[in-house]
Structure 1
Amino acid sequence: MSTEIAIETRGLGKSFGSMNAVEAVDLRVEAGTVFALLGPNGAGKTTTVRMLATLLRPSRGTATVFDHDVVGQATAVRSMIGLTGQYAAVDENLTAWENLRLFGRLLGLSRRAAQDRAAELLEEFELTGAAQRRVSSFSGGMRRRLDLAATLITVPPLIFLDEPTTGLDPHTRERMWGVVRGLVGRGATILLTTQYLEEADALADRIAVIDHGTVVAEGTAGELKASIGEEMLRIDLADPEQRALADAAVERLTGITPLHGDNPSTLTVPLSDIGTAADVITACRDSGIRLRGFGVDRPDLNSVFLALTQRPARTPLPAERASA
């Protein structure tokens, strides 16, 4: 039995003048799954979503949503999708209750059905106590939850969630993950963009890592982790000023450029042979590099991200944790 394809793109790209925001993206997303676009800021994730949602006209390539061309059949595509962008789209002058009821009516629900659905979503997103407050008085996290609730007034076949949990505290993020799983359980397809590794790992059936407007790797979380080797050697330097010296020593021995995250004192090296770890440590010491410690870890999505983009992935900021 053939699998229904929700999204298919071939060489999809977008330029703004001389700048290529998206170079050429090839995607194939099966219906009824969660597909994550994982990448740093400026990688081209949002531009890709906006093209698929018919909000931007592609400069090149093709894209279809359930076999409907996003350019030639844009009206049909819009009838099959829902989109939550990075910024709240609700009316600040209305209450949360009024916003959700209005969205329901605009989407064709009867007066009673719109009221019932608004009540359900307010409870689901823990906003019942703020239902009669104007949105202008909401915190950033509360606005984000309301925006997500508005997207889910109806459940279209395909839902784009563009960094949906940015600005949410860990509790609300976990709750949103449960909502996403519930939507897929009801038959929806989710295209999720995120900078959060744990989000992609927790939710996605398949992940495409996008950087500089190009898909640099795709697979399941397990496949991506396996692609960079079985083990990762972590070296903690006593003096971060010796990082360049350590990089050179490792590269001379292994031919591999070490990976760097946020911590300037730490470098990691993918290992195809665990026996190489001892040789690397010896080479560092022979080069006069002072070590604070070292260890061998299993690769995770952060290792994949660093290996593919040479940039650390995002972790929640304290301000975000307090924004709900």
Structure 2
Amino acid sequence: MQKIKTALLSYGMSGKVFHAPFLEFHSGFELLGSWERSKKLIQKDYPNVKSYATLEDVLVSDTQLIIVNTPVETHFEYAKKALLAGKHVVVEKAFTTTAAEAKELDVLATEKGVKLAVFQNRRWDSDLRTVKQVLLDGLLGDIIEAEFHFDRYNPLLSPKQHKETANSGAGILKDLGPHLIDQTVYLFGFPQAVYADIRKTREDSLVDDWFDILLYYPEFRVRLKASFFVREANPAYTIHGKKGSFLKPRGDVQEDDLKLGKKPNLDTWGTEPLEKEGLLHTEIDGKMVRRKIPTLQGNYYVFFDEVYQSITNDKEEPVSGQDGLRVMKIIEAAIQSSAQKKVINL
């Protein structure tokens, strides 16, 4: 099996939790190491890999794939340098800070003949996989409205400075927003218009930490919300159609398991507890049905496998640069809408 030599651009939480375990598990990748600026940690977990002192050291190495998992405001600069060096690239969310940057990276990847993917891993959450299946099965009829939440209760500012200083990549809209927006476009396509309200709610916060975004589709609406002041969680996914409704709490276990040091597998990985099953209330074959729906397994391994297939067999990326551009267009429209207090046509 062809090995793709891969390097990370940081080995903080995202490198340690979301990337390295899957690169190690997938037989098609060879993790060469990570760029580490101050703390040298990767060799404690992976003794045979390198700790690169500079980005240039990574770029001149025999690395074939570079994962840009640094703060958002650096994504464009680092991804562009990697693409210019002829490397395949995976970029964390938010893809970039502007739609113009996203478009430039997408065009550059095409010109250089390399693959560019955006790490929208939550397409492979157990929650979203189940929601998608309910929609594919037509259990709700024509959709009237949907509401997606990514809420938590955490009024304290993050100790990570890049998350709390006023920079072009900070704020909840570019942190949790890309997840919800990408999932919506993945399920329903690109919307016609956007209306948004974006706020700062935590004491002394310099960045946005609350949003309410309404996406306009021809026959239905989708509302996306995120907040740091939700003690009692709403359903993560609420969808109402002309035949019925589906409500699903957030239940994907992958992030928590990865933080505990558990290793991914292809059998039981991403299996939610039964109490997190979603509630379906609808009409099937003329009969009213109200029951729990078994949750499908989630597995971020699929993203990495599809990246592997895209590079080795010239398949389409699992989440393309064009996908990333669409998300950035919606984010920019949301910022404009909130500032001007009006609907923005896309």
TM-score by length of 1: 0.31
Which of the two has higher C-alpha Rg?
A: 1
